Amino acid sequence: MAEPTLYLFDGYNVLRASGMTEPAELVDRLASFIALRGVRGVVVFDGLGTDRDFGSLSVRYAPDADAVLERLAAEHRDTEQVLLVSSDLAVRGTSGQEVMKVTSKHFAAQLGDMGENKPQPSRIGDRVDEETRARLERLRRRRE
């Protein structure tokens, strides 16, 4: 199966599975994950908040995150390789057979492998192309 071009994240579900406590920390990690792969992502949190974009990662808030994830999966599954990250069986079941699925716990393990505590053989800047490096730098400067 082809690599995903669009990741859909069940925000609080992934947050709990990752052991993180702050949504901002998760968003930061997901933005890095997405940028390193050169793909797009949408993380949806239940509740109220300000929708924002961090490079190729969109952060959305909704009264019912599950419904938004199901709609996004349906809208994009015919034109992109979609991967849904959620442990919610109802969301996974209604997203369609065309959508790849992974549990939040499984994904959190992958995300944890990106941790800063592990020694890296080289700097991240050495492993990304110039365009991605420039986009990451613009994102970093907006947060300062």
Give 98-105's long-range contacts (Cβ < 8 A, gap of 24+).
Answer: 99/73, 100/1, 100/4, 103/17, 104/10, 104/13, 104/14, 104/16, 104/17, 104/18, 105/17
Q: What is the mean pLDDT of the chain?
A: 85
pLDDT in tens, 2-29: 789 999 999 999 999 999 999 999 999 9
81 φ, ψ to 5°? -90, 105
> pLDDT band for position 115 (50/70/90)?
low
DSSP H/E element including 15: helix 11-18
Q: What pLDDT is stored for residue 111 in this prediction?
A: 84
Q: Decide: 23 and 7 in contact? Cβ < 8 Å.
A: no
pTM of the model as a whole: 0.76
Quick one: how far is CA 134 from the chain centroid?
20
Q: How many other β-carbons are positioned within 10 Å of the β-carbon of residue 107?
A: 24
Residue 131 has pLDDT above 70, yes or no: yes
Quick one: how far is CA 93 from the chain centroid?
19
59: left (phi over 0), alpha (psi -120 to 50) or beta: beta
Domains of the chain: 6-143 (3.40.50)
